Amino acid sequence: MKRSLAMRATLLTAFKSMFDGSVLNVYSGTVPTSADAALPSDAKLLCCISKEGTGAGITFDADVSQGVLVKSTSEIWSGTVVAAGKATFFRLQKPTDDGSASTTLARLQGTTALIDADLNLSSLDFVPGNERRMKAFSVSVPAG
């Protein structure tokens, strides 16, 4: 399938509208079967990435002209590690999302690894008290 730039831009603009004001939570434990599923009992929140590490929601740049949506260049996305563990997955979600099963909440869930994951990290080991920064984050709709 081939996707027009207009279609890609429309989808990414809708994504931006849904996820501006979200946080990016990094977890250890079993990866949920879907983004709609509840967090498994062994999932442990390692770090909540937010605007300047304050808990405030993060935002994306408005330019989607090339079919790519990137983190706001004017924001520092960071968080303090709250628990020790090895990162296995993340969820981009609103700060009020408690992780219960839901088919009505907007969530983006993905795997974490050093390479070839949905979210590549420089280290999977999280140490309490350390700061984690997201220097880059992008969502794209390929042209096909």
Q: What are the residue ranges spanned by the domains of the chain?
A: 5-140
Residue 138 has pLDDT above 90, yes or no: yes
Contact 60, 70 (CB under 8 A): yes
Strands (E), the chain: 23-28, 44-51, 68-70, 77-80, 85-86, 89-93, 108-113, 119-120, 125-126, 131-134, 138-140
Q: What pTM was computed for the model?
A: 0.96
Q: Which helix H or strand E contains 15, and what residues bound it?
A: helix 5-19
pLDDT per residue over 31-68, tens digit each? 999 999 999 999 999 999 999 999 999 999 999 988 99
- Quote the pLDDT of residue 65: 84
Percent of the chain with pLDDT over 90: 97
Contact 109, 35 (CB under 8 A): yes
The residue count for the chain: 144
Q: Average pLDDT of 105-115?
A: 98
